[in-house]
Amino acid sequence: QVKPQFERMANRTFGTFKAIEYRTQVVAGTNYFIKVQDSDDDYSHLRVFESLPHMNQGPSLVSYQTGKTRDDPLDYF
């Protein structure tokens, strides 16, 4: 659901977009930290916020980091 947001924010398109790993953090909703494979050898880390169900809002991309590797740890950012 956040691929179009990521492409818009990064100002490019991605043929590959596969979630490899994720972590969660419960706040007033949920933060998802997601490691995404965005090409053969490139990875990005995404922070996605999903509000509480009664807010009726979909997930939104809050921030991202590009230039990651498969072995980079998925930490809070």
- Tell me the C-alpha distance between 7 and 12, whole Å: 5
The domain tally of the chain equals 1
Evaluate whether residue 16 is within a structural domain.
yes
Q: Which residue has the higher pLDDT, 53 or 8?
A: 8
Residue 34, pLDDT > 90, answer yes
Evaluate whether residue 75 is within a structural domain.
no
The residue range of the domain holding 4 is 1-68
Evaluate whether residue 38 is within a structural domain.
yes
Evaluate whether residue 77 is within a structural domain.
no
CATH number of domain containing 62: 3.10.450
Confidence of residue 53 (pLDDT cuts 50, 70, 90): confident
30 Cβ neighbours under 8 A, 6+ residues apart: 24, 49, 50
What is the arithmetic mean of pLDDT over 25-34?
Answer: 96
pTM score of the predicted model = 0.90
Evaluate whether residue 11 is within a structural domain.
yes
